[in-house]
Amino acid sequence: MRISALRVAGAGLIVDGVDLEVSPGETVGLVGESGSGKSLTARAAAGLLPKGLRAEGSVAFDGREFLGARERRWRSVRGTRVSLLMQDPFAMLNPLRTAGAHIAESLRGRESRAEVARRLAEVGIDDPRVAGRHPFQLSGGMRQRVALAAALAGDPELLIADEPTTALDATTQHDILMLIKSVQAARGMGVLLITHDLRVAFELCDRVAVMYAGRVVEQGPAAELAKSPAHPYTAGLLAAVPAADRRLARLSGIRGSVPTAAQVAATCAFAARCDQATHACEEERPPLRELGPGRRTACLHEVRPRPHVEEATPPERPAAGAEVLRVTDLRKRYGGHVALGGVSLHVGRGETVGVVGGSGSGKTTLARCVLGLVAPDSGTVALADAVRPRHRLVQCVFQDPSTSLNPAMTVGAALAEAAAQGPEEGRLGVRELLELVGLPASYAGRRPAGLSGGERQRVAIARALSVRPELLICDEPVASLDVSVQAHVLELLREVGGSMLFITHDLAVVRQLADRLVVLSRGEVVESGGTAEVLDSPAHDYTRRLLASVPAIP
């Protein structure tokens, strides 16, 4: 597939002049922050742009032009020559149809039970009974495997995978990525991987193209880009990736947010956020210039080397006995499924305890029991002050801040409403709460829809802190954020301090925040101890498998 001078526009310009090529057997990564135009580039390449958007330029397969063609021509290649795998398998799978029916539909006349079973086996599902199950009866990883089997059933020459592992835990993510890689090698299939996870992109891809504000600002062999980025934006993204092997003294994100393509059509798109920008960057649009074989960059300057970030000294442990939470032998069943099988842990005052584990390990059930949203079958949850109402003792920051922010309320109204539920003594006002999370006072008049994802998460943190809780529970608070925004939010949580129960599937993230670590597997604690101790010298095989699944940037 070859994409040339691709432009996508609706009410305004969104994608502005993208050139991209994927050869048979090659994996090309398309990376960048939310709003950079990655997904719309992929949808234009598959002829699946939403209504109201139009594309110009060229999308060609074997020299045949498809952009602007009628739907009938697109159908002749979609699902056969090119197939799309989405982030959320529910977006691809009909909840009323079985897994086997989805695969059979793509097989187009070869829908025998044996063929469906073979296609399931190709994606690592050896139980043929899965073919008769509906999506809601499958785990997240299993649903993604079925979606992949359906996408591959037409034997495509090109697979476009749009954030295929973002919502998955580390081990499941690793399995899906290795599965795509093995199928690709067996078939000689091309893969266009869209992701905001640089670790995934640089581990899996042969070449990487970096998008920003609707255009490609750098591209080249993955190993070369990782070692020596030639554009300040690429360097900034790499600097924001948390380290899995050490705790950094400072987490560095890129200031500001991604502009629209229309706002920067005639200038360097990154100039407003770049520390190396000069007057020349605002006077012209830098073209992609050749640096060497397969290396191109859209920057007028030589990129400075990434600054070395010192390793942090281990934080001091809170005094023994100063506990804000103690969970003892917590058990919870859902029918025949054991969600928690006797979990015990504690959080000291001023301490951050990380809880890690794969899907189904019991992390979220544990959080819901501590919050009082779920009643355990047995065991105890003891909080430091049994007199104060639970909502004043414990607050939660969720993965998606839209679940805790009313879209109809302004930021100021939401914060004022929450603060009114807290103690009157020392109550923080809206301005103070916004300052606490690094947002200007003017944001009080905005609504959630007018904020970026990172800004919404900052407001959610301010809202949770407004009642001055004894314990803050963070349930995957950065899982859906871009790497730069993630760095800002993690640094904010460090600065805010206090007592935290930090739940995540990302070991690199938990390394940067947690003093102690608890590893859950199938509802049981399999390992616990100081974070560095557990991650540097894991004693349990499950912990070792989690660590082995973390993608690495070369």
The residue ranking higher by pLDDT, 427 or 524, is: 524
| Co-location of 372 and 481 in the same domain | yes
- Residue 344 confidence (pLDDT) above 80: yes
Q: Is residue 465 part of a domain?
A: yes
| Co-location of 398 and 260 in the same domain | no
| Co-location of 539 and 416 in the same domain | yes
Query: pLDDT-based confidence at 422, cuts 50/70/90?
Result: confident
Q: Is residue 475 part of a domain?
A: yes
Question: Mean pLDDT, to the nearest integer, of 259-267?
Answer: 93
Q: What is the structure's pLDDT at 167? A: 67
The answer to whether 210 and 216 have CB atoms below 8 angstroms apart is yes
- Residue 512 confidence (pLDDT) above 60: yes
Question: Mean pLDDT, to the nearest integer, of 57-79?
Answer: 88
Nearest-angstrom CA–CA distance, 286 and 533: 48
Beta-bridge partner residues of 55: 8
Element (H, E) at 488: helix 483-496
What is the percent of the chain with per-residue pLDDT over 70, rounded to a whole number?
Answer: 95
| Co-location of 160 and 75 in the same domain | yes
Nearest-angstrom CA–CA distance, 370 and 366: 6
CA dist list (Å): 307 to 247, 304, 310, 454, 509: 16, 8, 9, 24, 20
| Co-location of 27 and 167 in the same domain | yes
Query: pLDDT-based confidence at 202, cuts 50/70/90?
Result: very high
Q: What is the structure's pLDDT at 340? A: 96
Which structure tokens are listed for 13? 């310009």
Q: Is residue 145 part of a domain?
A: no
| Co-location of 261 and 371 in the same domain | no
The answer to whether 18 and 211 have CB atoms below 8 angstroms apart is yes
Element (H, E) at 353: strand 352-356
| Co-location of 200 and 63 in the same domain | yes
The answer to whether 498 and 350 have CB atoms below 8 angstroms apart is yes
Q: Is residue 29 part of a domain?
A: yes
> pLDDT tens for residues 397-412?
988 777 778 999 999 9
Nearest-angstrom CA–CA distance, 165 and 553: 17
Nearest-angstrom CA–CA distance, 477 and 167: 12
> Quick one: 308 exposed, middle or buried, by C-beta within 10 A (0-12, 13-18, 19+)?
exposed
| Co-location of 329 and 208 in the same domain | no
| Co-location of 339 and 437 in the same domain | yes
Characterize 163-195 residue by residue with b for buried, 16 or more Cβ atoms within 10 angstroms of its Cβ, and e for exposed.
bbbebbbbbbbbbbbebbeebbeebebbbbbbb
Please state the pTM of the whole predicted model: 0.87
| Co-location of 8 and 65 in the same domain | yes
Residue-number span of the structural domain to which 283 is assigned: 2-81+156-297
Beta-bridge partner residues of 8: 15, 55
The answer to whether 94 and 104 have CB atoms below 8 angstroms apart is no
> pLDDT tens for residues 282-332?
998 999 999 999 999 999 888 776 655 666 665 555 555 589 999 999 999
CATH value at residue 201: 3.40.50.300
Q: Is residue 553 part of a domain?
A: no
Q: Is residue 351 part of a domain?
A: yes
- Residue 8 confidence (pLDDT) above 90: yes
Q: What is the structure's pLDDT at 307? A: 58
Q: Is residue 57 part of a domain?
A: yes
Query: pLDDT-based confidence at 354, cuts 50/70/90?
Result: very high
Phi-psi region of 52 (alpha: psi -120 to 50; beta: other; left: phi over 0): left
- Residue 216 confidence (pLDDT) above 90: yes
| Co-location of 293 and 342 in the same domain | no
Phi, psi for residue 511 in degrees, rounded to 5: -60, -35
Number of domains in the chain: 2
Task: Report the mean per-residue pLDDT for the chain.
Answer: 89
